[in-house]
Amino acid sequence: MVFQDPYASLNPKQMVGDIVSEPIRNFSNKSMKELKDEVMELLTKVGLPGDAYYKYPHEFSGGQRQRIGIARALALKPKLIVADEPVSALDVSVQSQVLNLLKELQDEFDLTYLFIAHDLSVVKHMSDRIGVMYLGNLVEIADKNSLYAEPLHPYTQALISAIPEPDPRKQKERIILQGDVPSPVNPPSGCPFHTRCPVAKEECSRVKPTLKEVKPGHQVACVLYN
């Protein structure tokens, strides 16, 4: 797992070498030398200098700390990495470096990412297949191209309409949702989006739609498609 906050997810009392080697120590009997060699290689792979091994987390910037978190996630050679908002706490310029690193590592280690983010440009850059969630519910699942070209769920349509258009000559109609996001502790009855949906029907407050495949590989949870 790679966590959202690179400041809170590394033990400030441990050197980077100990942080990254801990998963390996827990699951193998490697000698100190083997451990150190392996961690050094991981640190190099994520773009950190070798002397990072002997430093503490506070000696690094946010982007570098996230690289340490990525090295730790790679330590056990996983097939799947869950990356929970891994760049949202970073400056925009650093975000692209970390995203490009994740892409390079994906190719090198043949990784699958479950990549959680709220920035739709980042999601588009990183994903092959996307699941859109509202209030803890999956409301639409599709491959990247279908989702961005033809979003079907009203919430996805609103999200995609909010992506800024860099060309000032192009007009874009933005769907602005009214009201606040309800508390997930006490979600609305029926469709969880009905209190804000611009096309809600009377039945939407009673019926909770489930995901239904409306096109090959494209699933939507909305009464409009049931």
Which position among 111, 141, 209, 218 is part of the footprint of ligand SF4 (CB under 6 A)? 209
Segment interacting with ligand SF4 (CB under 6 A) among 18-26, 78-86, 124-132, 217-225: 217-225
Number of residues counted as binding ligand SF4 (CB under 6 A) = 14
- Give the amino acid at 89: A
Segment interacting with ligand SF4 (CB under 6 A) among 63-71, 76-84, 144-152, 195-203: 195-203
Segment interacting with ligand SF4 (CB under 6 A) among 95-103, 113-121, 169-177, 199-207: 199-207
CA–CA separation, 186 and 57 (whole Å) = 39
Cα–Cα distances in Å, from 74 out to 4, 26, 95, 110, 123?
16, 14, 19, 11, 21
Which position among 73, 111, 197, 218 is part of the footprint of ligand SF4 (CB under 6 A)? 197
Residue 9 token pair: 């997810």
Among 106, 119, 104, 115, which Cα is nearest to 78's?
Answer: 106
Cβ partners under 8 Å of residue 86, min gap 6: 2, 3, 4, 66, 69, 70, 98, 102, 115, 117
CA–CA separation, 160 and 192 (whole Å) = 19
CB atoms within 10 A of CB 80: 9
At closest approach, how far in Å is the CB of 64 from ligand SF4? 42
At closest approach, how far in Å is the CB of 9 from ligand SF4? 35
CB atoms within 10 A of CB 44: 13
- Stretch 175-194 residues interacting with ligand SF4 (CB under 6 A): 191, 193-194
Per CB under 6 A, 222 contacts ligand SF4? yes
Segment interacting with ligand SF4 (CB under 6 A) among 22-30, 43-51, 144-152, 197-205: 197-205
Per CB under 6 A, 60 contacts ligand SF4? no
At closest approach, how far in Å is the CB of 160 from ligand SF4? 15
Give the footprint of ligand SF4 on this chain (CB under 6 A).
153-154, 191, 193-194, 197, 199-201, 204, 209, 222-224
